Amino acid sequence: MIELRQLSLQLGNFSLKDINLAIDSGEFFVLLGPTGTGKTVLLESIAGLKPLTKGNIIINGKDLSEKRPEERNISICYQDLALFPHMQVKDNIKYGLRFKKDGKSSRFHKNYETLVELLEIEHILERYPVYLSGGEKQRVALARALIVEPDILLLDEPLSALDAGIKETIEAELKKLHQKLKTTTIMVTHDFREAYYLASSLGIIKDGAIMQTGSKEEIFNQPVSLFVAQFVGMKNLIQLSTLRCHEFSELLGDKTMSDRTEKFAYLGVRPENITIANEKVEKDYSFKGVIKDIRNNGIFMQIDIVVKEMTFLSYLTTNHFLELNLYEGKEVFLGFDSSNSCIITAEQNNSSL
């Protein structure tokens, strides 16, 4: 298990601010956030590559805050992979073992054989990095990071430079590796699809501060701030008036009307969770509206529906769109369930994209 307690550091004008985070052993934690918001700096502070201003890094019950990087048993894998060009693949993989007191033990030799087999790199062991493809380099970098049996594996956008086809292959192999080895992993990425596929839990960071952590479902369906909602693609953010508060009273709970208008600012629901039909839908919330706009993004159809001066966005597959015979100006029904929607309070809505 890794715990970050009040972790802070200052780098010029940028700072990490009182980061508190707990990640269970064996978990695959993915950190998301805008460019320049501190994702890589946080990884490097955990690895001991950036000095802390204050705070503690606890790994498996031990405070490693003052330990040198080589004393933390943490592996970090960067986007550029940083393979040694003068070493063959087999020597690149084994490089970290020279810093282990028992690096020549049979245990690590078995690790080597296991990783070579799992990553399917037997045929490139005698090659030099210059003769490897991007996907092969990534496999080698992962093997090098994992052979030393790290307590924590840190991945800094490791797949961002790969072509789409090979990227999906490496993602699958990375997931298989994690399921097999159960190494506690923290990965930084900008790719939401990648995060959703790999992560067991997620964190959102902005301007050096953790905005929200939780399961994938919590982050994507129950964001706690307008920033997080916008960042994770919750396109429907309906600002609530007194009338709209009345319509969504079940979600708001037992607050008074004044509380609702002052404290509850937005109703949030993802476009993929909104159902469109030609007849009334059996959902917790159902409305009749008029189609305002239709867009085809090449993968699915985006439908804007106006309901009582509110505009909802829904995503439909092309087949479903054709089955419903939808067109601009047509009256339709839409609906969604309480479990697929959330209320974002004014107190939490302190920043936006």
Residues 65-97: pLDDT tens digits? 999 998 999 999 987 778 999 999 999 999 988
253 has a pLDDT exceeding 50:
yes
Quickly list H helices, 147-299: 164-181, 192-198, 216-221, 226-231, 242-247, 249-252, 257-263
Tell me the backbone φ, ψ of residue 149, rounded to 5 degrees: 55, 60
- pTM value? 0.86
Instruction: Please provide the distance, in angstroms rounded to a whole number, between the alpha carbons at the two ends of the chain.
Output: 32
pLDDT at 257 over 60: no
Q: 151 near 60, Cβ under 8 Å?
A: yes
Among 339, 286, 276, residue whose Cα is nearest residue 313: 276
Is a pLDDT exceeding 60 seen at residue 348? Answer: no
Number of DSSP helices (H) and strands (E) in the chain, helices first:
12, 18
pLDDT at 258 over 90: no
Cα separations (Å) of 322 from 301, 305, 326? 10, 17, 7
Each residue's pLDDT tens digit, 170-190: 898 899 999 999 999 999 998
Domains of the chain: 2-221 (3.40.50.300), 227-345 (2.40.50.100)
